[in-house]
Amino acid sequence: MKKKINVIKPTRRHKKRYVQIKVSFDISGNSEKELYFMFNSAFSYLHGVVKATLANLTLLDVDFQKKCLFFRVNKDCLDDFLGSLLFVKDLGLVCVVDVKNTIKKTNLKEKEKKQI
Amino acid sequence: MKEEYIDVVSEELFKNNNFLEIEDAFLSCSITIVYVVREVNNKEDVKDFELPKSEKINYKKAYLLKDLNVNVAQDVVFGYGGDVNNISKVLESKKIKYLFNPFSENLAFDEASANLAKQNNKRIIINLDDYRKQKSKAIKTIKQSFFVYEVCMDKRVDFLFCSYARKIEEVVDPLITINFLKEFKVPETLSKRVLKEKL
C-alpha cells in the first residue's frame, strides 16, 4: 500500500533583507572573513552574541573595486544591524547604500551567473 | 524625494583632510547642511573664520563655548555641558541657545533641567562620538542616554544628533543614526525630523 504523503508543516523560515554598504577605506588588503568579522563584532558589541547569532548575518559578496559589501540579515534584526554600523572600526566612513527585500533586486545572482 | 539632513562638524575636519573627499562623504550620506564649529577656550579664539565654498553643500558657522564666560555675538553658539554647573549655566543663559553634551561622569541632566530647557527654548546637541569612545565611557553615556532621551521626549525638548567629526571616517550616515536611536526608543519619525531641523 502506498504511504500517504505527510502534510508539510509551516516552515520556520525567517524573512531576510539584503543590505548594500559602502566604505571609504581601501579594503583590497582584507579577506572576506576579516570583513565579516569586523561587522559581526560591531553587532555583538552592541547587542550581544545571542542576538548576533539569531540575526544570521551573512556576507554575500564584496566588490573590492567599488568598496561595496552585500550582507544578508534576518528582517527582525535589520534595524539592530544598521544601528550597529556606528561601531564598525578600521573601514572609514560607512554608508548604507541600499536595503532590498529580495536577492533578485540586488542583481547579485545575475553577477554570479556571469562569473560561472 | 531624496532626504536631506544636517550635521555638525569640527573646524579641524577641514584642516586635516582633502576638501573634495569631505564633500563626497557628506553627499554620500545625504547631508546638505553642515555647521562648522570653532571651539572657544578663551577670548582669543573668538575670531571670524572662513568657511569652505561649495555649490552642493551649505556650510554655516557655529561656535562651541568651552569657557561659558566668553561672549560671542553670533547666531549659532553652543554652550558645552559636561557637568552639573555648566549644564545649569547654559540652560539659564539668555545668550546661548544650544546645550552641547548633556552627559557627564554622573547623571547631570534631570527632569528639572528638561523643564528649564523647555521653558527657555533650548535645544540639546548630542555628540554621537561619545558612544564610540572607550568602552567604560561609552557605557556611562549609553546608560544616561536612556534617561535623557526619555525625559526630553516627555517634556518635548528639541534635540539634535551630530557626528562632530574631526576626520572623514567619523562622519555618521543619518540612516545609521536613526536606527541606532531605536535602541533608546526614539521613534523613527522623531529622529528623522530632528536630523532635518535647522539650528
Q: Tens digit of pLDDT for each residue in B139-195?
A: 899 999 999 999 999 999 988 999 999 999 999 999 999 999 999 999 999 989 988
Question: DSSP letters of chain B?
Answer: ----EEEEEETHHHHHS-HHHHHHHHHHTTEEEEEEEEEESSGGG----PPPP-SSSEEEEEEEESSTTS---SS-EEEE-SSHHHHHHHHH-SS--EEE----SS----HHHHHHHHHTT-EEEEEGGGGGS-HHHHHHHHHHHHHHHHHHHHHT-EEEEE---SSGGG---HHHHHHHHGGGT--HHHHHHHHH---
Whether residue A41 lies inside any domain: the answer is yes
Whether residue A4 lies inside any domain: the answer is no
Confidence at residue A77, expressed as pLDDT on a 0 to 100 scale: 94
Question: Which of B25, B175, B181 has the CB atom closest to A93's CB atom?
Answer: B25
Question: Which of B168, B175, B180 has the CB atom closest to A93's CB atom?
Answer: B168
Count structural domains, chain B.
Answer: 1
Confidence at residue A112, expressed as pLDDT on a 0 to 100 scale: 55
Whether residue A7 lies inside any domain: the answer is no
Whether residue A73 lies inside any domain: the answer is yes
Band of pLDDT at residue A116, cut at 50, 70 and 90: very low
In the three-class reduction of DSSP (H, G, I as helix; E, B as strand; rest coil), residue A76 is classed as helix
Flag whether residue B179 sits within 8 Å of chain A, measured between CB atoms: yes
Whether residue A1 lies inside any domain: the answer is no
Q: Pick the range with the lowest mean pLDDT from A18-22, B12-16, B149-153, B174-178.
A: B12-16
Test A83 with B179 for CB contact under 8 angstroms: yes
* Residue A86 near residue B128 (C-beta atoms within 8 A): yes
Confidence at residue B95, expressed as pLDDT on a 0 to 100 scale: 85
Flag whether residue A83 sits within 8 Å of chain B, measured between CB atoms: yes
Whether residue A2 lies inside any domain: the answer is no
Confidence at residue A10, expressed as pLDDT on a 0 to 100 scale: 66
Test A83 with B176 for CB contact under 8 angstroms: yes
Give the residue from A84, A86, A87 with the most B CB atoms within 10 Å of its CB, the best one to mutate: A86
Closest-CA residue to B147 (of B118, B109, B189) = B109
Q: Tens digit of pLDDT for each residue in B59-79?
A: 999 999 888 888 877 778 898
Test B182 with A95 for CB contact under 8 angstroms: no
- Whole domain around residue B148: which residue ranges? 5-196
Q: Tens digit of pLDDT for each residue in B20-58?
A: 999 999 999 999 999 999 988 887 777 778 888 888 899
Whether residue A26 lies inside any domain: the answer is yes
Q: Find the CATH number of the domain harbouring B137.
A: 3.20.20.140
Q: Find the CATH number of the domain harbouring A74.
A: 3.30.70.3250
Count structural domains, chain A.
Answer: 1
Sheet strands side by side (includes A68-74): A58-63, A68-74, A16-23, A94-100
Whether residue A8 lies inside any domain: the answer is no
Flag whether residue B171 sits within 8 Å of chain A, measured between CB atoms: yes
Q: Tens digit of pLDDT for each residue in A67-109?
A: 999 999 999 999 999 999 999 988 999 999 999 998 888 777 5
Flag whether residue B96 sits within 8 Å of chain A, measured between CB atoms: no
Confidence at residue B48, expressed as pLDDT on a 0 to 100 scale: 76
Predicted TM-score (pTM) of this structure? 0.89
H or E stretch at A17: strand A16-23
> Looking at this predicted complex, what is its ipTM?
0.89
